[in-house]
Amino acid sequence: MTWFELIKQVVRVPEAAAYYGLQVSRNSMACCPFHDDRHPSMKLNERYFYCFGCGATGDVIDLVARLFGLSSYEAAKKLTHDFGIDPDNPPAAIALPKPERPLLRAYRQEEVRCLRVLCDYLHLLESWKVQYTPKTPEDVLDDRFVEACQMLD
Ligand SMILES: [Zn+2]
């Protein structure tokens, strides 16, 4: 396992986000630090983040790199330091089986990841549509309700 992979195995995205000051809600949403975000629109999955507002996405190293304006290498060093990871002595629990046909696996993972992002977005829209439905005809339409109506199809 490479050093970068080790970090990604050990440090979960929501954990790192909270550590570096993002407010992470119980459903793993946070206000996106990469655009002017009024409602939490960044989904923090264990291994990657995705912003429904600006489309920012990546893994835990990308998150830290963008937050602090670092290169991936510097971000990896920061995570290693801040989370006390010892590259020479990785925890036994993360010893993974040797990947077979890594390219195929990477491709599958990417496919699964895309599907998950789409599903998350769909669920978010569905909940917005219910949550932000105007109560009376005079109510100002909430952006989220409008977006949900437009995007659900
Ligand atoms: Zn964003």
CATH at residue 81: 3.90.580.10
Instruction: Give yes or no: residues 71 and 138 share one domain.
Output: no
Separation of 118 CA from ligand 1 center, angstroms? 16
Cα(30) to ligand 1 centroid in Å equals 10
Range of the domain at 75: 1-96
The Å distance, Cα 126 to ligand 1 centre, comes to: 20
Residues 8 and 41 in one domain: yes
Alpha carbon of 1 to ligand 1 centroid (Å): 31
Separation of CA 31 and ligand 1 centre (Å): 8
Give CA–CA dist 72/78, Å, rounded.
10
pLDDT in the model for residue 95: 52
CB under 5 Å of ion ligand 1: residues: 32, 34-35, 51, 53-54, 56
DSSP for 84-120? T--TTS--GGG-PPPPSSHHHHHHHHHHHHHHHHHHH
Mean predicted confidence (pLDDT) in 77-93: 80
Residue among 67, 69, 84, 74 at smallest CA distance from 10: 84
Work out how many domains the chain is built from and give that number: 2
pLDDT in tens, 8-27: 999 999 999 999 999 999 99
Residues composing the chain: 153
Question: In the prediction, which pLDDT does 139 show?
Answer: 73
Asked whether residue 92 falls in the same domain as residue 102, the answer is no
Task: Give yes or no: residues 34 and 72 share one domain.
Answer: yes
Mean pLDDT of 78-96: 75
pLDDT of residue 101: 63
Distance between Cα 70 and ligand 1 center (Å):
18
- Tell me: the pLDDT tens digits for 20-63? 999 999 999 999 999 999 999 999 999 999 999 999 999 999 99
49 by Cβ neighbours in 10 Å (0-12 / 13-18 / 19+) ranks as: buried
Calculate how far, in angstroms, residue 123's C-alpha sits from the geometric centre of ligand 1: 18
Distance 138 CA to ligand 1 centre (A): 30
Q: Beta partners for 44? A: 49
Give the tens place of pLDDT for each residue, 91-132.
555 555 555 566 667 777 777 777 777 778 878 878 877 877
